A and B are shown apart, each in its own frame.
Chain A
Amino acid sequence: MELPHSNIISYHVTSPFFIIKFTGPRSLNSFTKDDYLYLGQLLHLADKDDSVYFTILQSCGTFFSSGANFQGIAKQAKNSNDPELSKWLKNFVATNLYVTDSFARHSKVLIACLNGPAIGMSAAIVGLCDIVYANTEKVYLRFPFASLGLITEGGTSITLPKKLGNNIAYQKLMFNEIFTHADLKDKVINKTYYIEDTEEFNKTILNELNEKIKTLYLPSCLKMKKMLQSNLKDEIVKLNSLEVNDALQFWIDGEPIRRFDQLENRNRKVKL
């Protein structure tokens, strides 16, 4: 399979681990549409590789990922002559649906090594992972949908209420408040390493995993994932489709782009 290229996502396979690494610290690991598509394709690659049992997301620098590169989306939208409907089907619906589905139906154990905050779609991906490790208590997840004129995406309509609780999911989503380490501990974050250095943090996790799997029969792990996953998978798959199709109208109405422009103008004024 010919994979599209991404400058800031790389991968390597050290069986039984398929390691995906975000390598764009200068942009706080924010992703373009193509980066997300590449990520989805890597998951499919890991899925098909029989030697792989764990798919691990690592990042670098101080941010896990600041989410979609809004500037790119806005530019693309303005330069496109497509009718609004096809523009947003192409730029939003298709990508989002594909990436979320790749995670929701992934057959290997998904582990996120959270080295810092995650925002938006990237935070949603953390919510889709089976196991999450944190480097310090400074990590957080933020879903600024209500501020950006969007709605829940990446399965968050179901993953957040299920994993963190119904009432707190409402409070944090509706008012664009952050999920702190304290909110996530024991519910999404399985273990906190208290290691500041990201490289050391990533390495420590891999060493530990290597140690842990020595005595395990790995096909058991995959079968158990399949069993556990069945509780949530169907709902995520359903919600994913509903989320993007409802969000489509928000993009067509133009509120997200309007809000992004306002944000840009404010930033420009601050700089002047």
Chain B
Amino acid sequence: MDSKYIGYSVDGPCFIIKINDPKHLNSISFEDFIYIGRLLEIANNDASIIYTIIQSTGNFFSAGGKIESVLDGQSNLDRSSSKKLTDTFGMVAKLNVLFADAFLKHKKILICCLNGPAIGLSAAMVLLCDIVYGKDNNGYLLFPFSNLGFVAELGTSVTLFEKLGYNSAMEHLIFSSPVSNKELIEKNIIVKNYNLDNTDVYNKQVILDLKDKSKKLYGPSILGMKKMIFHESTYKQNLTKSQALETSATLPFWLEGEPFKRFQQMKNKERKHKL
């Protein structure tokens, strides 16, 4: 089990997952998403860990799923073929159920260090974290589902509503419009803006701060509170429900093929994320 583009390290109470493909704006293959899910499981089972931190490199947190990964999932079989149905279901479910569930099972405090924009599945991952820090004022989260021909995935039908409010969630989902760092800061989704230029300096500073703060805190209290806030909440119940609802809702769109058409256009540079 290994990945060229996803690294991890342990530093005191911190389990650090690092996205490391800045040349491709840290877009992530489906295999690597599943790998991140397995890393979450390792962190979850390590009693010394209190925080699981997701960091990135360069100036783009992550451009989302790799286009190649998406196109690999396209089946040329006939629409009525059972194999096409189960293959497509597998592609959709491994992210919306398997990967999503790694977050829902997580007992440690999930911290995301935004160093720039995040798109699609990666932006959804940001919203599944408990705490988000920002590197600077630049950046946004983009959920271009309507632009790409499918529906809200990876918990966003719940997280966006819960964290941005109903009307804002509608606006951004329906029109695939970016959620600016300004809105993220105003709505306390980014709880602290570090105002730094260099991503490495920023990443290191977050870890130093966490280790420093932890000295006076009682770890079991922190994890005990997360248990109450998250694992006993209707929010979590709704997220669990969303795994099935989102998978069933998005599947017909993928079977019909509209998303593949649009991803192919993106690959051919005929289509851009509408920013």
Determine the residue in chain A with the shortest Cβ distance to B129: A167
The answer to whether A170 and B131 have CB atoms under 8 Å apart is yes
Q: B-facing mask of A153-182, CB < 8 A → 1, else 0? A: 000011011001111111101111000000
Contact residues of A between 118 and 168, Cβ < 8 Å to B? 145-152, 157-158, 160-161, 164-168
Give CA–CA (A134, B218) in the complex, Å: 32
Contact residues of B between 186 and 229, Cβ < 8 Å to A? 187-192, 213, 216-218, 220-222, 224-229
Question: Which residues of the partner chain B approach A152 to less than 8 Å between Cβ atoms?
Answer: 225, 228-229
Instruction: Judge if A255 is at the interface, Cβ distance under 8 Å.
Output: yes
Name A246's contact: one of B188, B213, B222, B227 (CB within 8 Å). Answer: B227
Instruction: Judge if A34 is at the interface, Cβ distance under 8 Å.
Output: no
- Nearest-neighbour CB distance to chain B for A220, whole angstroms, equals 26
The answer to whether B235 and A176 have CB atoms under 8 Å apart is no
Q: How large is the interface on B (under 10, 10 to 19, 20 to 34, 35 or more residues)?
A: 20 to 34
Question: Which residues of the partner chain B approach A170 to less than 8 Å between Cβ atoms?
Answer: 109, 130-131, 191, 226, 229
- Nearest-neighbour CB distance to chain B for A229, whole angstroms, equals 16
The answer to whether B227 and A174 have CB atoms under 8 Å apart is no
Give CA–CA (A145, B219) in the complex, Å: 11
A157 with B220, Cβ < 8 A, contacts A146-B225, A165-B189, A168-B191 known: no
Name A164's contact: one of B188, B192, B224, B235 (CB within 8 Å). Answer: B188
A165 with B188, Cβ < 8 A, contacts A151-B225, A157-B225, A246-B224 known: yes
Q: B-facing mask of A199-226, CB < 8 A → 1, else 0? A: 0000000000000000000000000000
- Nearest-neighbour CB distance to chain B for A186, whole angstroms, equals 11
Question: Which residues of the partner chain B approach A242 to less than 8 Å between Cβ atoms?
Answer: 228, 232
Name B235's contact: one of A148, A166, A175 (CB within 8 Å). Answer: A166
Determine the residue in chain B with the shortest Cβ distance to A164: B188
Interface size on A, residues (CB 8 A): 35
Instruction: Judge if A101 is at the interface, Cβ distance under 8 Å.
Output: no
Instruction: Judge if A114 is at the interface, Cβ distance under 8 Å.
Output: no
Determine the residue in chain B with the shortest Cβ distance to A173: B225
A167 with B131, Cβ < 8 A, contacts A146-B218, A147-B218 known: yes
Name A168's contact: one of B162, B188, B221, B227 (CB within 8 Å). Answer: B188
Q: A-facing mask of B92-132, CB < 8 A → 1, else 0? A: 00000000000000000100000000000000000001111
A151 with B224, Cβ < 8 A, contacts A168-B188, A171-B192 known: yes
Question: Which residues of the partner chain A approach B262 to less than 8 Å between Cβ atoms?
Answer: none
Question: Which residues of the partner chain B approach A149 to less than 8 Å between Cβ atoms?
Answer: 218, 220-221
- Nearest-neighbour CB distance to chain B for A199, whole angstroms, equals 34
Name B222's contact: one of A146, A157, A169, A247 (CB within 8 Å). Answer: A146
Name B220's contact: one of A160, A171, A255 (CB within 8 Å). Answer: A255
- Nearest-neighbour CB distance to chain A for B132, whole angstroms, equals 6
Q: Which residues of B contact A (CB under 8 A)?
A: 109, 129-132, 162-163, 187-192, 213, 216-218, 220-222, 224-229, 232-235
Sort A-B residue pairs by CB-CB distance and give the 9 closest, nearest first: A157-B228, A168-B188, A151-B224, A171-B191, A170-B130, A149-B218, A165-B188, A146-B217, A146-B221
